[in-house]
Structure 1
């Protein structure tokens, strides 16, 4: 069987052997991040739809997982924001009911972690939300979000998810020199980290060419300085 919506398994630096699930099939996202290795967003939206057929996704998962492959995680990631798929919760529940041995991870830009959607995350074992800025200006410069998305609400909702959901949380901060590493922004990051209380803070930087060619990768020494500043449970995941 040829697969359209699942890929891998791939060896991930953070997740180990991971089977990826793409619920969008195209570059659809609520952000248009300058560093995205998938390039610029084709459809900037917060509208939840059945971008790819729910039944086709679950059929592919059923076919692949029936043989009982060894996996560390089934990860929802793909080309854009996974939570834009309106049946995300159903697909996650299908895996929990039919293949409970596999852990589920969500890689998300955090924009759709809202009170309405949060119940759909109850079957996840790991949530990896992104937080690339805390000030509004820096947020707009890096993530170039849909006009309805506000950074203050994102931080509040990530903290609420950490408090109310059973899943572990690894908060990813993507750092770009000269953009979100100035002292004022770092102070705001530190305050946000203390509010969210994630299990881990993971610092990342440019590994492959992003959507914009003017970006630079942050040095490992600078990442270490920022890790020390932010406090405990901070690790560097950027590849060097």
Structure 2
């Protein structure tokens, strides 16, 4: 694929993170509320498979499972073409609204848990190679958006160590305080001790933000007990010496594609701000996206 061979891309919107925006298999650009600009996504789960099934997930036809084998040469060629169009082409003026025309990061996100891919460490190295080529190394971030479930694996910890050298960040999903048992939000069995251990491993390996989605379900907001449990869990991690950069607190901006979608709605702005204020009172930075 020639480096400047990028299909025509419609104007991007914060409420549309379509993975096929560029016509590629693995690479897609988005305008991200949390990133505050353009994020170039890397989708290591093009089969729409994930080991979790969050009720607010915007992935259509989501299935349980892991990713297929990744064609690393194709991934690199797609990212090369995308970065060439951003750095040397007219991508920003052609496809990005004014006010968002800055490249913030390359993000491992996509349609499932990226760390499930055996090729994840190699993909990180391909990203390094291209950031060096385009003189972006250290000038933009490389972000891993993860549910943290695979942080115990040696290959994932190896990749985190590499990510740290790339001006990397981890965005670790923590929607509610983890309790032993089934999570209604993430539709998976959780173990509180394991979540705490994985979070500590993430923060030790790379600068780490919590990412937390709050929303209404069946017309009801999370109750006080849920919010206090979340705050207590975060405070306990800080007390244990886990270094966190802060919390990315966000609401529903795009519709869920899961069966629970009719039950979900965005939380009021004032309520979201009140939760942000309570998190900030723990001594953490909070970036609120509504």
* Structural mapping, 1:171-210, within 5 Å: 171-177=210-216, 181-194=222-235, 195=237, 196-210=242-256
Counterpart Cα distance in 2 of 1:111 and 1:236: 24
Counterpart Cα distance in 1 of 2:61 and 2:193: 24
* Structural mapping, 1:1-240, within 5 Å: 1=5, 3-8=24-29, 10-15=30-35, 16-39=37-60, 41-42=62-63, 44-45=64-65, 47=66, 50-66=68-84, 69=87, 71-100=103-132, 101-102=136-137, 103-116=141-154, 117-124=156-163, 125-136=168-179, 140-145=183-188, 150-162=191-203, 164-165=204-205, 167-177=206-216, 181-194=222-235, 195=237, 196-210=242-256, 211=258, 212=260, 213-230=262-279, 231=281, 232-239=283-290
- The structure number with the bigger radius of gyration is 2
Q: 1:220 to 1:234 in 2, by over 3 A?
A: farther
Question: Cα offset for 1:61?
Answer: 2.1
Gap runs ≥5 in structure 1:
none
CA contact (8 A) 1:132 1:180 kept: no
| SS, match of residue 25 in structure 1 | coil
Counterpart Cα distance in 1 of 2:53 and 2:131: 34
Q: Normalised by the size of structure 2, how large is the TM-score?
A: 0.71
Q: Normalised by the size of structure 1, how large is the TM-score?
A: 0.84
Q: 1:182 to 1:236 in 2, by over 3 A?
A: farther
Counterpart Cα distance in 2 of 1:67 and 1:206: 30
CA contact (8 A) 1:83 1:112 kept: yes
Gap runs ≥5 in structure 2:
6-22, 88-101
Counterpart Cα distance in 1 of 2:61 and 2:234: 28
Question: Cα offset for 1:234?
Answer: 4.2
| SS, match of residue 185 in structure 2 | helix
| SS, match of residue 136 in structure 1 | coil
Counterpart Cα distance in 1 of 2:214 and 2:231: 14
Question: Cα offset for 1:197?
Answer: 3.5
Q: CA RMSD in A?
A: 2.5
Counterpart Cα distance in 2 of 1:138 and 1:182: 19
